[in-house]
Amino acid sequence: MTARRVLPQLPPLGMRVELAESVIRCAGGEVLFDTASGTQVRLRPRAMQLLAERRDLVVDDRAGARLARSLLDHGLADPVWGDEPGAVPSDVTVVIPVRDRAEQVRRLIATLPPQVPVIIVDDGSRDPSALVALGRPVHRHEQSRGRRRHGTPDWPMSQPSTCVSSTRTSSWSTAH
């Protein structure tokens, strides 16, 4: 039996992402460096054109969607909540499976509108008090039940804790 590779879904047209506050440009804008995590990414010429001197990107073609997906996956950008017609953030509950990443969870929660319910699933963190201190409900597993131990479940929407979501993310991720 061979494993099927699942490619990440590209963000929808119109989605806007913004570089994280901790991201700086180096080498004439060719390199993005996250001073918080140490992550660095070298941009190809087309990606440099799309970002130009701005700190945000609105997805309006496939190249923009691929750049936005990469920035989100590397934790270099956050989605910007828009005023999508018909979108009601309280219709969505964000469930965050995490282990030992309280700062990344704090950052994710900061991008969410305050009316969005959040549940944190602590997968055996060494310091559970750091997650409890975030002020959101925490469901704790004393021992890790994560994908490294038990494989990744076949959920309609599964993202690592380093990702940040939006209402648009929910609509295009759950379409699978």
Question: What is the residue-level pLDDT of the chain in tens, covering all 176 positions?
Answer: 565 665 668 888 888 899 999 999 999 989 999 998 899 999 999 999 999 888 999 999 999 999 999 998 888 998 886 655 555 566 678 889 998 888 888 988 888 877 888 999 998 888 889 999 998 999 988 887 776 554 444 443 444 444 444 444 443 333 33
Residue type at position 77: A
Q: 23 near 34, Cβ under 8 Å?
A: yes
Q: Which two tokens stand for residue 168?
A: 């648009």
Reading the block at residue 16, the tokens are 């806007």
pTM score = 0.53
| Pairing mode, strands 23-26 and 56-58 | unpaired
Count of other CB atoms within 10 angstroms of residue 152: 10
Helix (H) or strand (E) holding 134: none
Amino acid 37 reads S
Give the start-to-end residue ranges of the domains of the chain: 16-79, 92-173
Q: What are φ and ψ of residue 114, in 5° steps?
A: -60, -25
